[in-house]
Structure 1
């Protein structure tokens, strides 16, 4: 055995070696391991040097969108990647899986803070730069796009209040406990005094916290839950379906805001999240003005019959 590999081996439960690798090194290793899927890479851990890196995806089996847990089985350090496309041929751990089942697949490991934030507590949701949201709908979608470190997607916040601060005149604070792991979570957003109309994410400008790929994926998920014919649903389900397809429309409208005036498509540099970049790479044409306008028209055509039924 290579002695350089054995020097940092974890000798027992609770014995954590020193974390030496930069967060950038961890993200680079994740990129290489992801590119090798569905095969298995032979990469060394950026921290301890062992060939013991593992990836597990938790998410939606149907649309193959999930969250990546990436760690080393030897030193038990790693990272968590929010909202990624899961390659074909790779198993997905379904959302809602029991904690016991999840622990058998994903062990306890220490999260390395993300790039440029090595001095920030990795358990904190609130960074030094305030998140600027344009509406409560945008706050809610942002929180849905950022699951708990344990993989739990749904954040059932139980406390919400507004604060006034010298540097941020109106701050919306959401707090709650993760239903799966019990972790206390907190999100803070700077919000405007006047919000857009209900069901809209923001004003005429593009979002500063959600990228176009994330908006389009969320729109597809909302639209996928709504049958084209309102008659297929019970009366009690019509309001939920209308709200879902209305948010699908709003998400495409937000995606279109990233198309610069006079341009024919969303520029590649607008995609700043892992999910956004993967979605764009998989189908760049989906982000042309023409395709987006056609998608918007299709969703509006589904929404209008629901509006008509609810007005009766």
Structure 2
């Protein structure tokens, strides 16, 4: 069994939430159980539960980082310095867009809870942009077209190739971090 690496539980849960059910096609998994195990002499984590829509049993198994320090703990990050093996750069940019689209134009008039939620969405959106940047080879001007392996990611790349330019990605990340300061409570 060739297992893909889940660099953190956050990355694993995000991946599982995006995968369509084989039974009904709806995305998501109510993963109420997980366990570490050895699969083909590799440390792995198995998640299982039910489809949130039709209740069909679902299961995912991922390889885990060899070194505990390689996993991200306690922050919004989705993984270590390696590019994701679960989500391609197009999917990460799509995730960033979805998170950042929820941000109000201004923090004025928001409750403390709404400000915290916006801040968390900005933090997760910035982390997703950082994930896209991990696919840029050292010294390259953009993400390679060969870095996209999913249909969804390739389609997103073809529709907005310019958005994968290194400079644009870094500028977008800086803008998100600046906006995050405005929403800090």
TM-score normalised to structure 2 length:
0.89
Shift of the 196–179 alpha-carbon distance from structure 1 to 2, 3 Å rule, reads closer
Which of 44, 48, 59 in structure 2 is aligned with 1:186?
Answer: 59
Secondary structure of the 2:54 match is coil
Q: 1:174 to 1:232 in 2, by over 3 A?
A: farther
Which residue matches 2:134? 257
- Runs of 4+ that moved beyond 4 A: none
| Correspondent of 2:104 among 220, 227, 234 | 227
Q: Indicate the larger mover: 141-150 or 280-289.
A: 141-150
Q: Map 1:62-101 to 2 at 5 A.
A: none
Q: Distance in 2 between matches of 1:302 and 1:201?
A: 20
1:218, distance to aligned residue in structure 2 (A): 0.3
Of 280, 289, 292, the residue aligned with 2:169 is 292
Cα RMSD between the aligned structures?
1.7
Q: Kindly state the Cα deviation for residue 232 of structure 1 after the two structures are TM-superposed.
A: 4.1
Equivalent in the alignment of 1:241: 118
With a CA cutoff of 8 Å and minimum separation of 6, indicate the structure with the bigger relative contact order: 2
Residue 89 of structure 2 corresponds to 212
Higher share of residues assigned helix: 2
**How many residues matched?**
180
- The reply on whether 1:196 has 2:72 as its aligned counterpart is yes
Q: Distance in 2 between the 1:304 and 1:228 partners? A: 13
Equivalent residue, structure 1, for 2:2: 129
Higher-Rg member (1/2): 1
Q: Work out whether residues 18 and 28 of structure 2, in 8 Å CA contact, stay in contact via their aligned partners in 1.
A: no
Tell me the CA shift for residue 156 of structure 1. 2.0
Contact 1:228 1:302 in 2 (8 A): no
* TM-superposed deviation, 1:151: 2.6
TM superposition shift of 1:298:
1.6
Show structure 2 runs of 5+ residues with no match. none
Residues 199-208 or 209-218, more deviating: 199-208
Please give the alpha-carbon distance, in whole angstroms, between the structure 2 residues aligned to 1:293 and 1:275.
Answer: 23
Cα distance in 2 for partners of 1:139, 1:299 equals 24
Distance in 2 (alpha carbons) for counterparts of 1:264 and 1:213: 16
CA distance in 1, matches of 2:30, 2:103: 23
CA contact (8 A) 2:19 2:28 kept: no
